[in-house]
Structure 1
Amino acid sequence: MRKRSSRGRAALAVVAAALLGVAGCDTGGGGSPAPGTTKARAAKPAPLWDRSPSSIAAVGDSITRGFDACTVLSDCPEVSWATGSDAKVDSLAVRLLGVTGAAERSWNYAVTGARMADLPDQMAQAATRAPQLVTVMAGANDACRASASAMTPVADFRAQFEDALRILRAALPKTQVYVASVPDLKRLWSEGRSNPLGKEVWKLGICPSMLSGADDLTGAAMSRRERVQQRVVEYNRVLKEVCAKDRRCRFDGNAVYDYRFGTDQLSHWDWFHPSKDGQARLAAIAYRTITAPDPAA
């Protein structure tokens, strides 16, 4: 009996040891963490899109320079939707970085009159600052030419935008890019043409392909405006498609194009460029797109 008892106790000890070993694995004490443990969760890669970047550079055209928002035919970068300091605008930089942060860590390389062909050089300048986010608003001047036939061809527009992104990526592979759609130029014509002063300023050469002969409603004039409008739609399709190929790029989903600018959102100097209120609306659209959990949100 005693011999059998000893063998029984030995067998129980082996079973107990085996059970303890299994229990140790279940509680994370084994060589690899069980699914759902802290170590397993820590191995999950960080999301590609940072919703709170700590520095911003802006590239683009007159809209980002705040043109005609403060005085006639002049830039006013302090009211820029992207990097401005004006409290009424509450720019993207201020919303993301705070007043002090915006002053120290945001840069505006946009140029009034710039077209997509100018974006590669602007992007190269922006890259020297190593920003965590670059904002892009360009394309309106490619449609706003002396005539509809002088508009930038869509293929050239695409190649120029792709070139700009390549330049940025060569220097800063992880910098994020926010791309705003080109505004609805035909709507701006429709809203602004009701103001006599605005129409006089338009005669100085603002977007002639769309705005010349502001009160001309003949078939030829309307057909010209439709051509310009269609080109803007095509530009926005390019912006969307090119941006979609870059995992760290977000297009605004045509939010700027779809925004129904009214007279309060238009410059009271030219009734075409955004006013301070219009700049604030652009800042809100950008902030909403950049901070959304998902690009489509």
Structure 2
Amino acid sequence: MRKRSHRSRTVAAVVSAALLGVAGCDAAGGASPAPDGTRAKAKPSAPPAPVWDTSPASMVAVGDSITRGFDACSVLSDCPEVSWATGSDKEVNSLALRLLGTTGAARRSWNYAVSGSRMADLPAQMTKAAARRPALVTVMAGANDACRPSVAEMTSVADFRSSFERSLRTLRTASPRSQVYVTSVPDLKRLWSQGRTNVMGKAVWKLGICQSMLADPDAVDSAATARRDEVQGRVEAYNSVLKEVCATDRLCRFDGGAVFDYDFGTRQLSPWDWFHPSRNGQAQLAEIAYRGITGRKAVT
């Protein structure tokens, strides 16, 4: 009896120790698997959002005639020195002058925009831009896709999107860290309504400027109104594409429609064609871009 009692106490002690050992592992969060459905799932850490540089050290401008300063100095001619993006004219105070200073703008800014360009031409310009590996690329394109000899010849929204997407891919392949600032397409109908009051401007329009919008500028019948409304609708669709595609790129910033919404008056229009921006209009575009890129007010 005494042996059996001693043996029983020994077994009980071993069992108790084992139970305490198990409880201790659980309390300390040991390696024992948790019941199904209760195991915490590790969330993959998202890459940190890139920080937008408000003081880029170099820049390239791509786009169309507006960025070339077309008709701002003389009739039917480029005037890149007054370009809102890279111009050297102090009256305009271009984006490059504001961001880089006079010396920096001369050495570290380039203008690859081409008058008459459409969105389909942008990938080739972007190839040149990417070769510079700039800190910033500005894009102003799309007006010529709507400004065609006729409404039927306007660039389709699908083709516009495809060309813009290809442009960004081209840049990212060669210069993945370049920031991109995209301006909206201007309100062409507003430009028509302002310029149609000038006899000389309307005479220049007949030479072939934006006929889809500007043909028969004094006509206000239902057919002319419907034509202009269709052009306007296409411009708005282009701006939606610019916004949507830009949003897919972590280093792309759209102007939120700032250029489209700007109320260009006669002072901001070319004295030669009353459609393209004048020096003052170029200065307003520079100010819009500067605020969009830096969040700061004008530099005077």
TM-score above 0.5 = yes
Q: What amino acid sits opposite 1:287 in the alignment?
A: Y
Shift of 1:292: 2.2
Which residue pairs with 1:71 in the alignment?
74
> Matched residue of 1:51: which SS?
coil
| Separation in structure 2 between the aligned mates of residue 283 and residue 179 of structure 1, nearest angstrom | 13
User: Counterparts in 2 of 1:225-244, with a 5 A limit?
Assistant: 225-244=228-247
Shift of 1:94: 0.3
| Separation in structure 1 between the aligned mates of residue 194 and residue 99 of structure 2, nearest angstrom | 32
Shift of 1:197: 0.1
Cα offsets for 1:134-170 (capped at 9, x unmatched) = 0000000000001011100000000000000000000
Name the CA shift for 1:45/1:233 in 2 (closer, same or farther; >3 Å): closer
Which residue pairs with 2:282 in the alignment?
279
Out of 186, 190, 203, the residue aligned to residue 187 of structure 1 is: 190
> Matched residue of 1:250: which SS?
strand
Unaligned ranges ≥5, structure 2: 1-46
Cα offsets for 1:20-49 (capped at 9, x unmatched) = xxxxxxxxxxxxxxxxxxxxxxxx968521
Shift of 1:128: 1.1
Larger Rg: 2
* Contact 2:131/2:175 (8 A) holds in 1: no
The answer to whether structure 1 residue 217 and structure 2 residue 223 are counterparts is no
| Separation in structure 2 between the aligned mates of residue 247 and residue 292 of structure 1, nearest angstrom | 18
Which residue pairs with 2:107 in the alignment?
104
Q: Which runs of 4+ in 1 moved over 4 A?
A: 44-47
Out of 272, 288, 292, the residue aligned to residue 291 of structure 2 is: 288
> Matched residue of 1:273: which SS?
coil
Cα offsets for 1:70-100 (capped at 9, x unmatched) = 0000000000000000000000000000011
Shift of 1:129: 1.0
| Separation in structure 2 between the aligned mates of residue 188 and residue 63 of structure 1, nearest angstrom | 13
Name the CA shift for 1:46/1:117 in 2 (closer, same or farther; >3 Å): closer
Name the CA shift for 1:124/1:175 in 2 (closer, same or farther; >3 Å): same
Out of 258, 263, 266, the residue aligned to residue 260 of structure 1 is: 263
Which residue pairs with 1:197 in the alignment?
200
Name the CA shift for 1:45/1:243 in 2 (closer, same or farther; >3 Å): closer
> Matched residue of 2:114: which SS?
coil
Out of 104, 113, 117, the residue aligned to residue 116 of structure 2 is: 113
| Separation in structure 2 between the aligned mates of residue 69 and residue 53 of structure 1, nearest angstrom | 27
Out of 153, 166, 185, the residue aligned to residue 150 of structure 1 is: 153
Q: What amino acid sits opposite 2:161 in the alignment?
A: R
| Separation in structure 2 between the aligned mates of residue 98 and residue 153 of structure 1, nearest angstrom | 40
> Matched residue of 1:163: which SS?
helix
| Separation in structure 1 between the aligned mates of residue 284 and residue 169 of structure 2, nearest angstrom | 30
**Residue-pair matches, total:** 250
| Separation in structure 2 between the aligned mates of residue 123 and residue 226 of structure 1, nearest angstrom | 31
Counting aligned pairs with the same residue, the percent is 72
Name the CA shift for 1:288/1:196 in 2 (closer, same or farther; >3 Å): same
| Separation in structure 2 between the aligned mates of residue 275 and residue 51 of structure 1, nearest angstrom | 27
| Separation in structure 2 between the aligned mates of residue 213 and residue 100 of structure 1, nearest angstrom | 46
Unaligned ranges ≥5, structure 1: 1-43
Shift of 1:175: 0.3
> Matched residue of 2:253: which SS?
strand
Q: What amino acid sits opposite 2:208 in the alignment?
A: G
* Contact 1:176/1:248 (8 A) holds in 2: yes
